[in-house]
Structure 1
């Protein structure tokens, strides 16, 4: 089955589309990459999102406009992906949408909202769409995150030691896959969320992120601010847990700086970059990780990766590319897998990773122009993930 996964993370800088041929063979889920494309959000839509997402307030009218505008933006990327990556014919499209709010109350997730009306994608492509994948896990008592954990578990199970999958998006999350015990997954804290917010603020919007870690590399870590940020209670909460920009935003950072003398912009960027490295490494050490396999936009920041390698103190750090999974496309491929599991009636969560009472078949299906995609339903869920050579 040819499946396209559409993904926009908490940095909402671009919409990624990854196409894969997926099948179940001898108990293994086999993924053949067909390619990736990425398109930036329309500038006006991205600016409006930045102004309206938490901690800002908004209106139901604006939510409706976002749901439509994001759906149309995803549809535009989907059309390109069908033509350029799938030769004009895809069997299924899976849309993560754009997370607008993740409602966490005293450690429990009460709800989650991803915007981007899938009807626009189905109408533009004629292809069935699986969307709204997080809510079912929340309804089952889970965190609704990190949903990529099932892919991490299938892919990394059986590797020596205790491999840890790391995603450095707006928020950092890990999946720990021990040889014997149940796997566990959770958000460790901010990754690019605070770094990007600081860069936009101190450059008056001239830059949206710290390209090549230049600012962090020039700066020095501010010890008192660093200690204040590390005192955030979220880090001590037990897993499974999840968080987002509802907590880690510019106002949160400003509150932590209360009473401190002015801090140089480069030092501020260096401090929040070091915060990501420390909190990720602390989480990896807490669960005995023996190697860290990283993906996400943060791996393109050499200063962050250098700091993380130092914090990990000898624990091997590598990118998913070294194991055959394109790091730029990992999350989009993961959501393609989740949609494939859905149309096959298979659970898309690992309860020990999300905290749910049971695994669930995820998402809602929006029909395309023809029949829903049907494949011979497997008798058993896959027990592993194998990558076949493809277009990477």
Structure 2
């Protein structure tokens, strides 16, 4: 079964897509990535998404319009993905769309998620491609008492299961999250804190780079860490909450940085501020890795392309082997799209794609709601036993 996985993450910069051809052999699921892309939002649409995000106020009219516009943008990317892939033959069997998170509702204590909202109406994708679309995948886990995040933990556990020692998967997106498959009591996963979220917000606010992010970590590399500001940022209570836990731009947004600067009482130039926020990511990640007793860290996400961030993490973790998810067949910038293709495959085969010990839910749940394609909805025969492992390969020519 060929499934197109799609996601726009907390950086709100564009849509990642990956077509994965899945075959189950025994208890091992094999996935061959035949097409992949990363497509930026049109600047006016990205500006509207950013303007609607917390702590800003918005209207139901704006939410409705963005739901449509983001859904149409996803449909455009989906159409290109299935017509440009290696052996794609212009068709996939299904799509799993994460959409664009605009709010993740966590209770004031930070210990439980109460709701979540992803926009990008899946009917636009179903209409364009004519195949079923699995979407709205987080809320079922939350309804079962879970955090609804990080859902990539299911993929991480299948991929890392054969590694020796105590490995962990680290994703450096807008928010950093980590999965420790070998934790006592079962796989453990949680959102650590901001990875690129505060850095990107500061680059945008200060105009430090026209791309809206710290390209190649160059700004942080020439800046100097303000140790006093860093110490203040590290007092954030979220970091001391027990896992599983989740967070997002509802907490870590541009106003968060402004409040920290006001407390700090000193001017901090853009380069020094970006260097300090990059060090914040490195320090919170290193603290989490040490606390979990991890000896191998498999990194993915946009932060992999920031050599300054990666160097600062490595400097704080002597004795821990750092590698990327490419070693396991998942290109770092595509891993989340592959994860949602996997979630779609699981859902369509009647299988849960959550781990209760990772999200905090009462039990594993089959995720998402299905929008039918043009034909009557016909699901494949249910699979009675979940895969024990996932083996990924990538077609030649797919970045």
Question: TM-score, length-normalised on structure 1?
Answer: 0.97
Q: How does 1:98-247 map to 2 (within 5 A)?
A: 98-105=100-107, 106=109, 107-178=111-182, 181-203=185-207, 206-247=210-251
Consecutive unaligned residues of structure 1, counting only runs of 5 or more, are none
- CA positional deviation for 1:299: 0.7
Q: Matched residues in 2 for 1:30 and 1:241: separation?
A: 30
Match of 1:349 among 337, 346, 354: 354
Asked whether the 8 Å contact 1:91–1:373 carries over to 2, the reply is no
- CA positional deviation for 1:369: 0.8
What's the counterpart of residue 5 of structure 2? Answer: 5
- CA positional deviation for 1:200: 1.1
Q: Matched residues in 1 for 2:302 and 2:394: separation?
A: 23
Match of 1:92 among 91, 94, 98: 94
CA spacing shift, 1:305–1:205, aligned 2, 3 Å: closer
- CA positional deviation for 1:181: 4.4
Q: Matched residues in 2 for 1:307 and 1:232: separation?
A: 20
Q: Matched residues in 2 for 1:45 and 1:290: separation?
A: 42
Three-state SS of the structure 2 residue aligned to 1:278 is helix
Three-state SS of the structure 1 residue aligned to 2:67 is helix
- CA positional deviation for 1:311: 1.1
What's the counterpart of residue 82 of structure 1? Answer: 82
Consecutive unaligned residues of structure 2, counting only runs of 5 or more, are none
Q: Matched residues in 1 for 2:331 and 2:208: separation?
A: 33
Q: Matched residues in 2 for 1:209 and 1:199: separation?
A: 6
Three-state SS of the structure 2 residue aligned to 1:258 is helix
2:67 matches 1:67: yes
Q: Matched residues in 1 for 2:106 and 2:326: separation?
A: 33
Match of 2:334 among 324, 329, 333: 329
What's the counterpart of residue 17 of structure 2? Answer: 17
Which deviates more, 164-173 or 180-189? 180-189
Q: Matched residues in 1 for 2:384 and 2:368: separation?
A: 21
- CA positional deviation for 1:143: 0.2
Q: CA RMSD in A?
A: 1.3
- CA positional deviation for 1:205: 7.1
- CA positional deviation for 1:23: 2.0
- CA positional deviation for 1:371: 3.4
Match of 1:265 among 263, 270, 280: 270
Asked whether the 8 Å contact 1:128–1:373 carries over to 2, the reply is no
Asked whether the 8 Å contact 2:105–2:114 carries over to 1, the reply is yes
Three-state SS of the structure 2 residue aligned to 1:97 is strand
Q: Matched residues in 1 for 2:390 and 2:340: separation?
A: 14
